[in-house]
């Protein structure tokens, strides 16, 4: 499950798309023969509406309707994520989510195995820690798992 910071970023991106979609729909609404109906009224009754037609206006309303739905879902996910606060030391500093299959660098910092794959420099055969910039020589799969962190995560998530 993504961290609150990640979810907030995704929600902001969705809100930006929604704002653009609403602007486009409003412009098309002004040009249509539905001038006496508000966009909010159309959206409120859109799902079961017989108004769905193959025009630019109705395509834009459909896009706004779908973005509204995505925004509601994303907001619920964010609320759930916020309530699941990740304790210090159990969050990956790269993806900002719970540490998954955590691996321990020589500096003592732990990160998700998949995140370390993104940081691995094959040419240098090392990983530079994003927290302290200390290099760990070797491949990701050669790193020790951080079993104590994994046990702590297990106990927190029960």
Residue 105 pLDDT grade (very low, low, confident, very high; cuts 50, 70, 90): very high
What burial class does residue 87 get, using C-beta atoms within 10 Å of its C-beta: 0-12 exposed, 13-18 middle, 19+ buried?
Answer: exposed
Whether the predicted pLDDT of 86 surpasses 70: yes
Q: What is the pLDDT of residue 153?
A: 87
Residue 53 scores a pLDDT above 60? no
pLDDT band at 101 (very low <50, low <70, confident <90, very high): very high
> Per-residue pLDDT averaged across 84-107, rounded?
86
First to last CA, the chain: 15
Closest CA to 118 of 130, 134, 106, 107: 130
Q: Above 80 in pLDDT, residue 150?
A: yes
CATH topology of domain 102-156: Herpes Virus-1 (3.30.40)
69 pLDDT higher than 90: no
Instruction: Report pLDDT for 18.
Output: 79
Per-residue pLDDT averaged across 9-19, rounded? 80
């Amino acid at each position: 499950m993504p961290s609150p910071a990640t979810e907030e970023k995704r929600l902001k991106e969705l809100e930006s798309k929604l704002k653009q979609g609403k602007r486009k729909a409003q412009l098309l609404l002004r040009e249509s023969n539905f001038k006496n109906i508000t966009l909010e009224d159309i959206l409120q009754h859109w799902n079961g509406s017989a108004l769905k037609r193959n025009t630019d206006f109705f395509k834009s309303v459909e896009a706004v309707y779908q973005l509204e739905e995505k925004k509601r879902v994303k907001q619920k996910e964010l609320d759930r994520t916020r309530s699941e606060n990740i304790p210090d030391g159990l969050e990956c500093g790269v993806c900002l989510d719970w540490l998954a299959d955590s691996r321990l660098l020589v500096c003592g910092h732990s990160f998700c195995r998949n995140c370390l794959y993104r940081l691995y420099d094959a040419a240098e055969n090392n990983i530079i820690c994003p927290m302290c910039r200390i290099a760990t020589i070797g491949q990701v799969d050669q790193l020790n798992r951080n079993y104590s962190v994994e046990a702590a995560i297990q106990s927190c998530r029960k």
